[in-house]
Amino acid sequence: MTKTSSAKTNSGRFFEDYAVGDVLHHAVPRTVSGGERALYHALYPARHALYSSDEFARQSGLPKSPLDDLAAFHVVFGKTVPDVSLNAVANLGYAEGRWLLPVYEGDTLRSESEVIGVKQNSNGKSGVVYVRTRGLNQRDEVVMEYVRWVMVRKGDLDAPAPETVIPELNKIIPAEDLVIPEGLDFSDYDFGQAGEAHRWGDYQVGEMIDHVDGVTIEEAEHMLATRLWQNTAKVHFDATARPDGSRLIYGGHVISMARALSFNGLANAQMIVGLNGGAHANPCSSGMTVRAWSEVLGKAETSAPGVGAIRLRLVATSGAEPFTLKGDDGKYLPGVLLDLDYWALMPI
């Protein structure tokens, strides 16, 4: 019996492995249940009533509470990691994210990504890859989609640079392109049960909201979350993977934490339907106390009864003062962790 070392493990794709037009079918479909829903509530201070109460969801025209929109995003995103970002140097941005169908208990999600852009960096050692990712359910319906671009190392420095393709992306998703879940109706909305009285008409463009509360982050929690989404990037789990012995927290953990904290002031921003853009401004690690503030960036009417759309900037911080974002040099302040631009649905 001879012993031979095998090369069966996935070392991830490098920059030269991506070509515009490639479609990557990501592995490991996932069925979600009440367990994922309960865990989402244990991991984040999530209190939006539509996701907490089947009764509230039914009163809003849905069959029952869907999985939190960000949980659906994390499941779809997690599947892409082995194929898209295992050798990523940086997660550069998001655009054109849309939630197209609610995800319910018993649904099975899978993901696929189309390469829509590549650009080798001038140093010749890495490049930027743009992918449009779609999450699909067991009926092959697209439940969400988004564009992400990442900087990826080259594996073979001698590989020729591909022709540069940079996709044209909307800076902001036009309100008329947002998809409102079928049947959604806020005409009979119970503001008391939702937790706040402020309706769509009460928010002004330019208004800033300090969400006040903070959560000090623990290693065990972000690892539980990140594993739940089957995100395998080793920097999140392996304290020996980074020179300083710290674990880098999955950016999506910060998104969910900030969104949940934003309940206090935005309890009626119930459903997320669009992701216009987002930057993980600075890395997050355990021991930080995460806080959040929001800015109203826009408003739009929708065709659904009683439902308005609100465009929000959601900023997660650790140490930065509320409502401060960038320094005089135009760079994010060190205490800013996340700058996210999204569309949510609110009772008018």
Interatomic CA distance for residues 302 and 348, integer angstroms: 10
Binding of residue 188 to a second copy (CB under 8 A): no
Tell me the number of residues near a second copy by CB under 8 A: 90
Binding of residue 29 to a second copy (CB under 8 A): yes
**Cα 281 from chain centre:** 14
Q: Which is nearer to a second copy, 93 or 298 (CB)?
A: 298
Q: Which is nearer to a second copy, 148 or 211 (CB)?
A: 211
- Taking CB under 8 A as the criterion, the residue among 22, 114, 185, 221 binding a second copy is 221
Binding of residue 164 to a second copy (CB under 8 A): no
- CB of 305 within 8 A of CB of 185? yes
β-strand partners of 216:
289
- Taking CB under 8 A as the criterion, the residue among 19, 38, 157, 166 binding a second copy is 38
- Taking CB under 8 A as the criterion, the residue among 20, 22, 30, 92 binding a second copy is 30
Binding of residue 28 to a second copy (CB under 8 A): yes
Two structure tokens written together for 13:
């794709």
- Taking CB under 8 A as the criterion, the residue among 70, 95, 152, 194 binding a second copy is 194
- CB of 16 within 8 A of CB of 121? no
Interatomic CA distance for residues 246 and 239, integer angstroms: 5
Binding mask 109-138 for a second copy (x = CB under 8 A): -x---------------------------x
Q: Which residues, numbered 232-271, are part of the site for a second copy (CB under 8 A)?
A: 232, 234, 237-241, 247, 264-267
Interatomic CA distance for residues 71 and 115, integer angstroms: 24
Residue 66: DSSP 8-state: P
Binding of residue 208 to a second copy (CB under 8 A): yes
Q: Which is nearer to a second copy, 90 or 197 (CB)?
A: 197
Interatomic CA distance for residues 190 and 291, integer angstroms: 28
Q: Tell the smallest beta-carbon distance from residue 123 to a second copy (Å).
A: 27
Q: Which is nearer to a second copy, 13 or 119 (CB)?
A: 13
* CA distances from residue 76 to 69, 183, 207, 346 in whole angstroms, order as listed: 11, 24, 32, 25
- Taking CB under 8 A as the criterion, the residue among 179, 227, 283, 300 binding a second copy is 227
Interatomic CA distance for residues 226 and 80, integer angstroms: 13
**Cα 6 from chain centre:** 36
Binding of residue 41 to a second copy (CB under 8 A): yes
Binding of residue 90 to a second copy (CB under 8 A): no
Q: Which residues, numbered 266-325, are part of the site for a second copy (CB under 8 A)?
A: 266-267, 289, 295, 323
- Report the relative pairing of strands 307-317 and 289-301 from DSSP bridges: antiparallel
Interatomic CA distance for residues 150 and 109, integer angstroms: 23
Q: Which is nearer to a second copy, 4 or 303 (CB)?
A: 4
Q: Which is nearer to a second copy, 34 or 124 (CB)?
A: 34
Q: Tell the smallest beta-carbon distance from residue 48 to a second copy (Å).
A: 8
Q: Of 283, 299, 285, 268, whose CA–CA distance to 336 is shortest?
A: 283
Interatomic CA distance for residues 165 and 120, integer angstroms: 10
- CB of 72 within 8 A of CB of 271? no
Binding of residue 23 to a second copy (CB under 8 A): no
- Taking CB under 8 A as the criterion, the residue among 192, 243, 303, 330 binding a second copy is 192
Q: Tell the smallest beta-carbon distance from residue 108 to a second copy (Å).
A: 5
